[in-house]
Structure 1
Amino acid sequence: MAYTRNHNFIFMLIPFLVILTTTSFASAEVLLFSAKHVTIINKLVTRATLIVHCRNKGDDLGVVSLGPGDSMDFRFRVNLRDTTVYSCSFAWPGNTATFDIFRADRDDNPKSKAGVCSECIWSIYEPAPCRDRRDGGQPNCFPWDGFGLI
């Protein structure tokens, strides 16, 4: 009886693996729970210190102080529903801003303007956060979600 159950399991597993390896779902970019690495770089033109606080529903990354040119990074996996969002608040002398530094619908979606990134590198400038392109082309800049003067 154990032999029959193992045989049936293997019989079902092999076609599944063949389908998985021959479809686009095998791509690392679209696999469920795809690994992401976000890097945030302080590129404020004023060369001011940037205070960054990033979090999502279940993970608070704490407050980090970045000097001019300094960076911070974090890693995670996109959730099963592909709804992962990491939101960050940014502060520098006289200003505060917020921005969703990772949104699955923007950063893990091949149909989005910015495309998929597994290494998501963000340069933070006063006017806008910009996601750098791996090919060295023009970065994708986005408006702040919220911006205020102190």
Structure 2
Amino acid sequence: MQNCFFVALLLLTVATSFIEAHGSQHWWDLGFQKARVEVRNELEGGRDLRVHCKSGDDDLGLRVLKPHNFFSWKFRPNFWRTTQFYCTMDWGEGRVHLFDIYIWSRDYARCGNCLWIVKQSGPCFYDMGNRAYDFCYPWNPGSLMKVD
């Protein structure tokens, strides 16, 4: 019985220290701060961007973004560090493009506020250090699906 009490006290101490070190306001946060993702339409030619983003747990629905408009959402990464959101995007050319807009292993350390612009060539990530959208990515391989 004394060992159980000691183990429980030790776990409580470690958990409290972890939460304080990570600036979490609630014990259930486990140190994971909310992340925000913003997707902005910067397509050439003034085209509307149709965006549909999902994770394994959440479907954010279809959004139609006018030129230079954006939509954003907030979420808390999961305990297992596997949070991932992907978006399908199209702009009326008969093809749907796919991109992993948030991957915990790629994005958690570099952004709490993940800003993306979408161009025909692919999404570009905002680099806080350079103050520019200079991390551009290609669409996911094999993601060009024909729309009938």
TM-score class, shorter-chain normalisation, is 0.7 to 0.9
Name the counterpart of 1:77: 76
Asked if 1 retains the 8 angstrom alpha-carbon contact of 2:117 and 2:133, the reply is no
What 5-or-longer segments of structure 1 have no aligned partner? 1-7, 111-115
Name the counterpart of 1:127: 121
Letter aligned with residue 84 of structure 1: T
Residue 96 (structure 1) shift: 1.7
Q: What's the C-alpha RMSD, in Å, of the aligned pairs?
A: 2.7
Letter aligned with residue 77 of structure 1: R
Asked if 2 retains the 8 angstrom alpha-carbon contact of 1:55 and 1:88, the reply is yes
Residue 33 (structure 1) shift: 3.1
Aligned with residue 144 of structure 1, among 113, 134, 139: 139
TM-score (norm 1): 0.75
CA deviations over 1:50-72 (Å, ceiling 9, x no partner): 01101111211111100000100
TM-score (norm 2): 0.76
Matches within 5 A, 1:16-31: 17-18=16-17, 21=20, 26=22
Letter aligned with residue 46 of structure 2: R
Letter aligned with residue 138 of structure 2: P
Name the counterpart of 1:90: 89
Name the counterpart of 1:40: 39
CA deviations over 1:70-118 (Å, ceiling 9, x no partner): 100111010000001111100102132011111111111x4xxxxx210
Equivalent-residue separation in structure 2 for 1:74 and 1:149 (angstroms): 28
Asked if 2 retains the 8 angstrom alpha-carbon contact of 1:32 and 1:78, the reply is no
- The ranges of structure 1 where at least 4 consecutive aligned residues each deviate by more than 3 angstroms after the TM superposition are 11-22
How many pairs are equivalent? 133
Letter aligned with residue 100 of structure 1: D
Equivalent-residue separation in structure 1 for 2:63 and 2:19 (angstroms): 41
Asked if 1 retains the 8 angstrom alpha-carbon contact of 2:89 and 2:96, the reply is yes
